[in-house]
Structure 1
Amino acid sequence: MTTNRREILPVPPASVIRKLPAMGDLMITAKQNGATHERIGTIEAVTIEDGWLVCGGTAHDSRIDPTAITTMIVDRTSVMQEKVYPRIDFRRGDEVLFSVVGFAGIEPFDAALAEFGPGAPLPEEPKEPRAKRVEASLEDAGALPLRAALDAGTKISIGFKRTGFEQNWTGVIESVKPAMGFINVMRPDFHLHLLGNSVSTWKDGAALDADGTPTGLSLTLHNAAVPA
């Protein structure tokens, strides 16, 4: 099948989401208000709960409202060390609601989408230069509960929520490291990148911004309280 390097898929979003398990290892990533929440691995099943699609398995825990998705853009232009990392941006209007990045290469990605045929071609986007950021600090309010969980060795749940999309991870943090302006938690099946100074405090486990508005990021320390 002939494929475009970038294209719009004019098919129902639910039909594409149901194909994700066939792509092998992939990342589901979403960002909002300075937080980037990523789950990594193979989706074992896509089920339906109250009209939402649930991507589940040992490495995934995402809930998606397919009615919130207005456009799906496939991008096959990302290449690192001679390997293609294809991506689907699931958009709501002008915003990217969440993205899926294939880690198993282009072949299983294209095979999973083959039945839909080529989409409407789009021009390639120019690569934006990486923004310069002030280095984040481990004394940042956003880092405090992450450091508390690390020091205690306790299990933690890190949730992310925005309109039409929710994602969670539960596990034990092995490190909290500032880099590139973010506070970073890296596990084989999960990454959190939290922009420095994007959290002013925590209330009942919810991250609040400088105006006291919830950012969509939440933490639960098992057997402990989240430091404010």
Structure 2
Amino acid sequence: MSQQRLQRERLLHHAADVLEAAGRLGRVMLTTSQGGATHERIGPVDRVERSGFAVRLAGAAHDADIDTAALGAVILDRSGRIKDKVLPRLDFQGKDGAVLFSLVGLDGLEPFDAGVAELRGMATEAAEPVEAMERADLAEDDPGSLPFEVARCAGVPVTIELRRDGLRQAWSGNIEAVKPAMGFINVMQPDFHLHLRAGAVGRWRMRADRAGPDGVELLAENVRGELIGLAVRGPAAVLARRD
């Protein structure tokens, strides 16, 4: 079987070299999860900016900064499907072998394979089963939805960011809707999805936004008081309200 047809390949390239192909893959979804929050940016990558181990994916649909020194192997996986459509992806693993983030090709296999044609790999083991997020009932007073509902009602732009070791990804804009469904708080925009598991946030820690004197940053804490990496930034007049 040729390498182009392998279902899973471990690419024989550094993660920074693989990321340089991101702009050739058509519409992609960069998805990453931590602490019950899944943060997804959706659309073509307009620019790939590289400086040493640092790689930035930028454009109208992407805003991600990646420290490739924190990454390990990159796995090209062609096994994903929705109905009859193949959704190939690149899984970027951390040094511990766990997937830090994935780039999922939304235009199907042909443009994705064309974009990675210069990258070569070797066969790897079958994919580990993806562990589903534990689903919980969403309480009406779940604190996770508070900053999103406040920003939506006020009609002000905010930035929603997820930070992990080796990755920072953000979206900025006006929230059109906050949709609770199947145990998750969902913020759904054409180029951005946030899925926040019920009960993932115990409270929001507020601090001044370093970007300006009129802004604040809310940092999500779990019920044990640990930061989960999710942050919301926006005008203090809206996000700092206590009423």
Given that 1:52 and 1:65 are in contact with CA atoms closer than 8 Å, whether structure 2 keeps it comes out as yes
Q: Which amino acid aligns with 2:183?
A: G
- The answer as to 2:223 corresponding to 1:221 is no
In 1, distance between residues paired with 2:181 and 2:86? 25
Q: Share of identical aligned residues, percent?
A: 39
1:152 matched residue in structure 2: 154
1:109 matched residue in structure 2: 112
1:211 matched residue in structure 2: 224
Q: Structure 1 residues 129, 94: closer, same or farther in 2, change over 3 A?
A: closer
Q: CA deviation at 1:138?
A: 4.3
For residues 14-61 of structure 1, the C-alpha deviation after alignment (integer angstroms, 9 at most, x for no partner) is 111000100010000111011100000000011135741000001000
Q: CA deviation at 1:129?
A: 8.0
Q: Which moved more, 1:173-182 or 1:184-193?
A: 173-182
The TM-score, its normalising length taken from structure 2, stands at 0.87
Q: Which moved more, 1:57-66 or 1:123-132?
A: 123-132
| Aligned equivalent of 2:11, options 5, 9, 12 | 9
Given that 1:158 and 1:219 are in contact with CA atoms closer than 8 Å, whether structure 2 keeps it comes out as yes
Given that 1:199 and 1:209 are in contact with CA atoms closer than 8 Å, whether structure 2 keeps it comes out as yes
Q: CA deviation at 1:191?
A: 0.3
Q: Which amino acid aligns with 2:238?
A: A
1:137 matched residue in structure 2: 139
CA RMSD of aligned residues (A): 1.9
Q: Map 1:1-228 onto structure 2 (within 5 A).
A: 2-48=4-50, 51-92=53-94, 93-117=96-120, 119-125=121-127, 133-204=135-206, 205-222=218-235, 223-226=237-240
Q: CA deviation at 1:227?
A: 5.7
In 1, distance between residues paired with 2:129 and 2:31? 19
Uncovered stretches (5+) of structure 1, i.e. residues with no partner: none
In 2, distance between residues paired with 1:219 and 1:120? 41
In 2, distance between residues paired with 1:128 and 1:145? 30
The TM-score, its normalising length taken from structure 1, stands at 0.92
Uncovered stretches (5+) of structure 2, i.e. residues with no partner: 207-217
Q: Which amino acid aligns with 1:99?
A: S
Query: Secondary structure of the residue that 1:115 maps to in structure 2?
Result: coil
In 1, distance between residues paired with 2:128 and 2:98? 18
In 1, distance between residues paired with 2:130 and 2:93? 19
Query: Secondary structure of the residue that 2:230 maps to in structure 1?
Result: strand
Q: Structure 1 residues 226, 23: closer, same or farther in 2, change over 3 A?
A: farther
Q: Structure 1 residues 174, 70: closer, same or farther in 2, change over 3 A?
A: same
Q: Which amino acid aligns with 2:199?
A: N
Q: CA deviation at 1:113?
A: 1.2
In 1, distance between residues paired with 2:56 and 2:202? 31
